[in-house]
Structure 1
Amino acid sequence: MTVFRQGFFALLMGCIVVLSGCKANIEDYAQAQPKLDIFTWFAGDSVAYGMVQDHSNKQTRRFTVKIRGDVAGDTLTLHEDFVYDDGEKQTRVWHIRKLADGSYTGTAGDIIGTATGHSAGNAFNWKYVMDVKSGGSTYRLTFDDWIYQQDEQHLFNVTSLTKFGVEVARMSIFFEK
């Protein structure tokens, strides 16, 4: 390997190491207020408005979601009714459990396996895998949701959708009580 190639390879590996350490950590939000308690915030009725953008940031879908949250002990059940801009309707029912260590797990009919979540300050990070249909094909994507409480009535959510670790789409959602 030439000196140039060795130097280029070292620089490339250094950039990968640095960039891989640039992800947000839930503990970065430990002091942020107002403190988000998803069981309290989602109890009752809320509505959300969202959009999906592809890898080039082009908006590809818009949707509205009516949400009803019911809390029973350590479980939050979210009934989500989606209506997309093309008329498609979809329902998802989440069963989210708060564990003794303060973390969360969740299941829903169209989610692959179990979702995991962590909360700190005004933020909640929720990760799961789901099969997504697009253009006649189905893609298994990893969702990395970051939900932030703005005030008592509003939440913002930014989600990275990845395939093999590469972001293929981004979703933004605005929740309102």
Structure 2
Amino acid sequence: MNIRNLLLALLFLLAGCSAEVSDYQHSKPTFDLFGYFSGETRAWGMVQDYQNKQIRRFEVVIQGDVVGNTLTLNEKFVYDDGERQTRVWHIIRNEDGSYQGTAGDIIGVAHGNTAGNAFNWRYDMDVKTDNGKIKLHFDDWLFRQDEKRLFNVTSLRKFGLEVAKVTLFFEKQ
């Protein structure tokens, strides 16, 4: 095996390594996705590129409504450059406790699971760039801190390599 093949094998092995949501099953406080996001929540976040350079900041106001086994999240983003964006999620809690969700700019269906204080949400999205759009895979990790606060770290990947990350801090209103 030449060095190039060895490096590629190592790269794919490392790209596949990830925490599992079950690793947090005993962590408190327990994260109830529907309970936390019912009503108004505010969040502040930033996007960093692959070199950890902050490239955008934003604030988001989220209105959550629960009807039966469906949570609808109406997210209104305002970025530091003045851009405004809206995303509406429709999230279904499945009988097995897992979640599925859709939104207008999400490709296909998002899939999520929760355990303890953690929620892991995975999906693909076309992200706007200066030269058009690029399809990225999002690996969202949300962690309940206390009754009002939640932390979120998201890895954005292309071909298994992290190209950016998003960090958010949520506060229940």
TM over 0.5: yes
TM-score range, shorter chain: over 0.9
Match of 1:167 in 2: 162
Q: Find the aligned partners of 2:17 and 2:86 in 1 and give their Cα distance.
A: 35
Q: What TM-score do you get using the length of structure 1 for normalisation?
A: 0.91
Match of 1:86 in 2: 81
Residue identity (%): 59
**Unmatched runs of 5 consecutive residues or more in structure 1:** none
Equivalent of 1:142 in 128, 133, 137:
137
Q: Find the aligned partners of 1:9 and 1:171 in 2 and give their Cα distance.
A: 31
Matched AA of 1:109:
G
Tell me which stretches of 4 or more aligned residues in structure 1 moved more than 3 Å. Answer: 8-22
Equivalent of 2:56 in 57, 61, 76:
61
Superposition map of 1:1-177 within 5 A: 15=10, 19=14, 22-177=17-172
Q: What TM-score do you get using the length of structure 2 for normalisation?
A: 0.93
Matched AA of 1:93:
V
Matched AA of 1:141:
L
After superposition, give the CA deviation of every residue in 1:40-99 in whole Å (9 maximum; x if it has no partner): 000000100000000000000000000000000100000000000000000000000000
CA-atom RMSD in angstroms: 1.9
Larger CA Rg, structure 1 vs 2: 1
After superposition, give the CA deviation of every residue in 1:98-151 in whole Å (9 maximum; x if it has no partner): 001110000001111000000000000001111111213211111000000000
How far 1:155 moved relative to its partner? 0.4
Matched AA of 1:89:
R
